[in-house]
Structure 1
Amino acid sequence: MDSLPGTGPDYVLRALELFAKYGDREALVVGETRFTYTELRAAVLDIAANLVDSGLRPGATVAIMLGFPPQAPMIQLALHLLGCRTAWVSNASSVMELAAYLDQVRPEALLYEVAVHEQRGRDIVDRLRIPTFCVGPGGAGPDVLAPRPTGSAPFDVDSVTGPATGTPESVFQTSGTTGIPKPLLHTANLYEQILTLAEQIVAAGEPRYRHLSVTPMWFVAGQTSAFLYLFTGGTLLVMRFFRAAEFLELLESEQVNSTFITPLMLYELLDHPEIDKHDLSAMVVLSVGTAATNPVRLRQAVDRFGPVIRITYGLSESPFISAFPGVASDPHRQERVGSCGPAYGDVRLQIRGEDGTVLPAGGTGELWVASRLNFAGYVSRPEQTAETLVDGWVRTGDLGYVDDEGYIYLTGRVSDVIITTSGSYHIFPRAIEDALTTHPQVRAAAVIGVPHPRLGEAAHAYVVLADGATVTEQELIDLVTEKLTWAWAPRSFDFVDDLPRTGSGKTNTRRLREEYAALHVLVESTTD
């Protein structure tokens, strides 16, 4: 996919103006490292200068492999200031996924963090033979964080405003239904709209947020929240890994008043034995999203935290679709606790039937959304882009309805994606089935998503074995883990003589789900 018409790095220039205005306010906290807005702005300009001095061509496509360096937001802004297309690599990528992703985005340069990705970075350099830049010394390229030479002139922002600079864009690595990544492209529209939302937050007189993020920058949601709170002049606190005890301590010690977590993280907090020993009274907005939240646990969260819970809904293709702030039990609308709220910001919603017809309020169909936050398409995948992006509308693939007051209720998914673990990993049955059937003693396999008391959802495999087979469940788990990752491994199995079929000969997964539901009961519990 070629770059779409844009306006250059305008949003970065506006952000730099805001950072100058915010001055000595605390901007960013990662572990023991803290930046003011003055320091953050200076870092953006110094990184951009180092990149240019080291030979990066403005407008280039740059693959980015980072862990959690404090400078990650500054690196993104510096590259966008130069009109580059940044292609973010997920840290959870397998070797196969990484190779497939890079083959599609065709990077012209690589930037990687030496402390985290040294061997993988050098492997890519050896394979692609592209210019390389590093975060930290000792890597295969110059360190973009190195201090500027004494006496060097400040970076000239006027040098990046010409038409030859390029248009800032970002590509994110998302999973495809076959396990092959779909590179998802967002233009500067995403960041321009984040700026607009930030301006609205400030204009509404909302408090200055101290937002704690556990979402990495290689996710769209990670960048959406990071820049939203930086653009408002708040403080962004970044936690590298979610651990309930440390998370609770940080909420209290840093007087965090905003955060975003997944439902499974919420459950872990609620079940933690030390939760009542922490003063969490500073909390103003506790957002929960990425998957459906169990209504029972949601009510428990409201009872524990108060009316600060906000349910959000979005996806990589359109990261902020709806928000339901101040969730509480409404005796007149008891079903509303199952809603993800009304449309947020500039989002327009439609519920459409299978034939594309717009349905009235209350009608169940697929949710379509239009917003400046919508993505621009999948890189190198025109057919999938055409299926998902129709006349400016994103087909979410989610089924649901909208009530007479505009509240969204999701009832299922068009696809069979399984959302598992506290990180809300998206895994897909086909890739697991393909991995299982590579074993010589497996004749056939079918995988469905089933409820799991700790993981939310997990893969359950129906396996048809060859005569005389001796393979064990653990061996099959190890096989899937080796070929994919641990998150994809089935947590339970049924060994069957054959798989049910539909009239067209396909595996009847609906029947498998019905049979599983009839034979298995998930007991709700507040403990693991």
Structure 2
Amino acid sequence: MTYVDLVLEKLSTDGDREALVGGDTRLTRSQARDLLFRLADGLVRRGVRPGDGVAVYVGNTPEAVLLNLAVHLLGGRLVYVPPEPGTAELKALIERADVAAVVVDPSFGTQVDGWHLQDLPGNPVERDPAPEFATVFYTGGTTGLPKLAVHPSRKTGLWETRASLPPMNLLSNTLITHGSGAGATMTALLTGSKLVLGPSTFDADTFVRLARDEQINMTIFVPPMMYEVLDHPDCPGPQFHVMVGGSPLAPKRLRQAIEKWGPVVNQGYGMTEAHAITMMPASEVDLDRPDTLRTVGKRNPLTEVEIRDGDVWVRGPFVMEGYWGEPPLSETSDGWFNTGDMGYFDDEGYLYLNDRSKDVIVTGRTSDNVYSRLLDDFVVTLPGVRQAAAVAQPDDALGEVVHLFLVTDGSDVDVDRIRASVVAELGELYQPRGVTIVDQLPLTKVGKVDKRKLRSQFR
């Protein structure tokens, strides 16, 4: 059995209960089950067989959620095609993924050609779920070529605990073709919850409306989304539990969220290649202990985590098999994967992340490390600063120096005072040599601060 079997069990009971809401579409469990089988039949009629790769270029719609489930139902290899890359890279990704079919939603974008999702449904032919399938996520490669992280199907035992949770009204804000959105979708389907899909491009106004109108009691954010909601003039009060992932929370913002919503903010640490590495439950965050605002929690009991030369390495059932077209991790590293994050454990087993390896700024006469995340978290505690992003700026004498991009609250910000505060708190090495005030920080399609785009301004 796989998670698909458990989802079908939920969709086969209490058929009039709402299951999926997105845009103008509202589907009950019975309607969702019917459409799931119709989409699977449409794929089969077009020649898709178990083991085939099916690339999907879709946004946050109920039909797209069921399409993804249909590929797994048939035992296919589901390849998520994200909107971030340009047309040429998307074509290279699809070619590299070796797929038998491409399904697109033209309302989401026209960069990719394929079968239209709206034309796909066939007859509601009931099928038993295949015993094996795979999911493939895109991740940018250091060589410039797209890399595709392959996650195999997992046995039911890994999902039964989640499936035993009570139904919720869950609002998912991230794209369903990325890790956090896919995880939220699976959680909602497994628990028999009403899954409300936010727009494919996050909008705080829409979040506020949906939270109110759909009586949301659970929601999924990446940090910049949560910050936008907290800054919204009509930010809801306590009504929902929160799950945050994608990148660590700034301690000041976590404190603000707890003061606004109560002790309901749960954090998860994972990535495209390795899901569910650690968890920091809301119950373990103590406002009187600042360190609990900085940690990403303790390791998932099913995942091994080691610190090697400052880098975080992981192994376990939620770690990818490997990259498509490359040897599996079991052959190259005994199943271990280097996350690219730098961190350490404290004596109680809590993991703290210093930075992404690629975001570390190497500067000074002795080429020392400046951890940009540490600087970001400190600067947002200064008066007038709402958001901050530190990146490396090339320098002829020092190799790299610190450059700060700031979003203010509209008040005048004294740049010299910011520099002095940084030096006093973090030392001379962290002193920003350049400061740029912007209206907003660039974000990726999944809502993370796009530091690569900021760095590109200096090339």
Whether 2:48 is the aligned partner of 1:56: answer yes
Q: CA RMSD in A?
A: 3.4
**Aligned counterpart in structure 2 of residue 252 of structure 1, from 212, 217, 222:** 212
Aligned partner of 2:313 in structure 1 is 368
**Aligned counterpart in structure 1 of residue 431 of structure 2, from 506, 509, 517:** 517
C-alpha deviation, 1:379, in angstroms: 1.0
Aligned partner of 1:441 in structure 2 is none
Aligned partner of 1:228 in structure 2 is 187
CA distance in 2, matches of 1:103, 1:171: 14
**Aligned counterpart in structure 1 of residue 140 of structure 2, from 175, 187, 197:** 175
**Aligned counterpart in structure 1 of residue 61 of structure 2, from 69, 85, 88:** 69
Aligned partner of 2:322 in structure 1 is 377
Contact 2:180 2:245 in 1 (8 A): no
Secondary structure of 1:391's aligned partner: coil
**Aligned counterpart in structure 1 of residue 115 of structure 2, from 124, 133, 139:** 133
- For residues 112 and 239 of structure 1, do their structure 2 counterparts lie closer, same or farther at Cα, with a shift above 3 Å needed? same
CA distance in 2, matches of 1:299, 1:388: 44
Aligned partner of 2:411 in structure 1 is none
Whether 2:104 is the aligned partner of 1:112: answer yes
Opposite residue 198 of structure 1, the aligned amino acid is R
Contact 2:279 2:298 in 1 (8 A): yes
- For residues 108 and 16 of structure 1, do their structure 2 counterparts lie closer, same or farther at Cα, with a shift above 3 Å needed? same
Secondary structure of 1:318's aligned partner: coil
CA distance in 1, matches of 2:286, 2:331: 35
Contact 2:105 2:117 in 1 (8 A): yes
Whether 2:105 is the aligned partner of 1:145: answer no
- For residues 334 and 115 of structure 1, do their structure 2 counterparts lie closer, same or farther at Cα, with a shift above 3 Å needed? closer
**Aligned counterpart in structure 2 of residue 407 of structure 1, from 322, 336, 350:** 350
Secondary structure of 1:250's aligned partner: helix
Opposite residue 313 of structure 2, the aligned amino acid is W
CA distance in 1, matches of 2:26, 2:256: 35
C-alpha deviation, 1:219, in angstroms: 0.8
C-alpha deviation, 1:402, in angstroms: 1.6
Highest CA radius of gyration, 1 or 2?
1
Secondary structure of 1:71's aligned partner: helix
Contact 1:175 1:182 in 2 (8 A): yes
Opposite residue 159 of structure 2, the aligned amino acid is L
C-alpha deviation, 1:68, in angstroms: 2.7
C-alpha deviation, 1:307, in angstroms: 0.7
Contact 1:310 1:324 in 2 (8 A): yes
Whether 2:30 is the aligned partner of 1:38: answer yes
Opposite residue 176 of structure 1, the aligned amino acid is G
Aligned partner of 2:455 in structure 1 is none
Instruction: Among all aligned residue pairs of Structure 1 and Structure 2, give the percentage whose two residues are the same amino acid.
Output: 32
- For residues 512 and 75 of structure 1, do their structure 2 counterparts lie closer, same or farther at Cα, with a shift above 3 Å needed? closer
Contact 1:377 1:389 in 2 (8 A): no
Opposite residue 125 of structure 2, the aligned amino acid is F
Superposition map of 1:451-470 within 5 A: 451=376, 456-457=388-389, 461-462=393-394
Whether 2:160 is the aligned partner of 1:196: answer yes
Superposition map of 1:489-508 within 5 A: 499-500=396-397, 508=399
Q: What TM-score do you get using the length of structure 1 for normalisation?
A: 0.68
- For residues 296 and 13 of structure 1, do their structure 2 counterparts lie closer, same or farther at Cα, with a shift above 3 Å needed? closer
Aligned partner of 2:412 in structure 1 is none
Aligned partner of 1:336 in structure 2 is 292
Superposition map of 1:263-274 within 5 A: 263-274=223-234
CA distance in 2, matches of 1:11, 1:342: 25
Deviates more, 1:77-86 or 1:513-522: 513-522
Secondary structure of 1:315's aligned partner: coil
Aligned partner of 2:150 in structure 1 is 185
Whether 2:116 is the aligned partner of 1:157: answer no
C-alpha deviation, 1:409, in angstroms: 0.9
Aligned partner of 2:422 in structure 1 is none
C-alpha deviation, 1:387, in angstroms: 11
C-alpha deviation, 1:187, in angstroms: 0.8
Opposite residue 207 of structure 2, the aligned amino acid is F
CA distance in 2, matches of 1:337, 1:409: 10
User: Residues 375-405 of structure 1: CA distance to partner in whole angstroms, max 9, x if unpaired?
Assistant: 11111234xx659973223221211122222
CA distance in 2, matches of 1:390, 1:456: 37
Aligned partner of 1:350 in structure 2 is 306
Contact 1:60 1:84 in 2 (8 A): yes
**Aligned counterpart in structure 1 of residue 90 of structure 2, from 98, 115, 118:** 98
Contact 2:198 2:206 in 1 (8 A): no
Opposite residue 195 of structure 1, the aligned amino acid is W
C-alpha deviation, 1:258, in angstroms: 0.9
Aligned partner of 2:413 in structure 1 is none
Contact 1:85 1:167 in 2 (8 A): no
Opposite residue 98 of structure 2, the aligned amino acid is R
Aligned partner of 1:470 in structure 2 is none
Superposition map of 1:469-484 within 5 A: none
Q: What TM-score do you get using the length of structure 2 for normalisation?
A: 0.77
Contact 2:306 2:314 in 1 (8 A): yes
Secondary structure of 1:34's aligned partner: strand
C-alpha deviation, 1:228, in angstroms: 1.3
Number of residue equivalences: 398
Contact 1:63 1:86 in 2 (8 A): yes
CA distance in 2, matches of 1:387, 1:406: 26
User: Residues 323-369 of structure 1: CA distance to partner in whole angstroms, max 9, x if unpaired?
Assistant: 212264353x43221111112352232223x3xxxxxxxxxx22222
Contact 1:267 1:297 in 2 (8 A): yes
CA distance in 2, matches of 1:417, 1:96: 29
CA distance in 2, matches of 1:388, 1:263: 35
Aligned partner of 2:450 in structure 1 is none
